[in-house]
Amino acid sequence: MTTNPREIGIAFTLEMLEAVRADRKTQTRRPATAGKMMVVDWDRAVVRGAGGLNEYLHVPGYHHDDYGPEDERMVTVCCRYLVGDRLYFKERIYAHPIPSDSETPSLCAYYKSDWKIVRRISGTALLWRWRSYGLPARYMPKEAARDWAVVTRIRAQRVGDISYEDICAEGWDARVSTPVTDGSAGDDARAWFIELWDSINAKRGYSWESNPWVFAITFERIER
Give tens-digit pLDDT for 160-208: 999 999 999 999 987 877 777 777 778 889 999 999 999 999 999 999 9
Half-sphere exposure of 61 (CA within 13 A, CB side): 22
User: 76 and 56 in contact (C-beta within 8 Å)?
Assistant: yes
**DSSP reduced 3-state for 100:** coil
Sign of CA dihedral 107, 111, 117, 121: negative
Domains of the chain, first to last:
7-87+147-222 (3.10.400), 93-135 (no CATH)
The Cα–Cα gap between 102 and 4 comes to: 45
What is the band of 70 on the pLDDT scale with cuts at 50, 70, 90? low
Question: Of the candidates 91, 144, 137, which has an alpha carbon nearest to the alpha carbon of residue 117?
Answer: 144
* pLDDT tens sequence across 95-110: 988 766 555 568 999 9
Q: What pTM did the predictor assign?
A: 0.88
CB atoms within 10 A of CB 28: 21
Using CA atoms, how far apart are residues 186 and 30, in angstroms rounded to an integer? 22
Cis, peptide link before residue 105, omega less than 30° from 0: no
27-69 pLDDT, tens digit each: 999 999 998 888 899 999 999 998 899 999 999 988 877 656 6
Single-letter residue type at 29: R
Quick one: DSSP state of residue 202?
G
Predicted local confidence at residue 80, as pLDDT:
95
Q: How many CA atoms lie within 13 A of 158 on its CB side?
A: 12
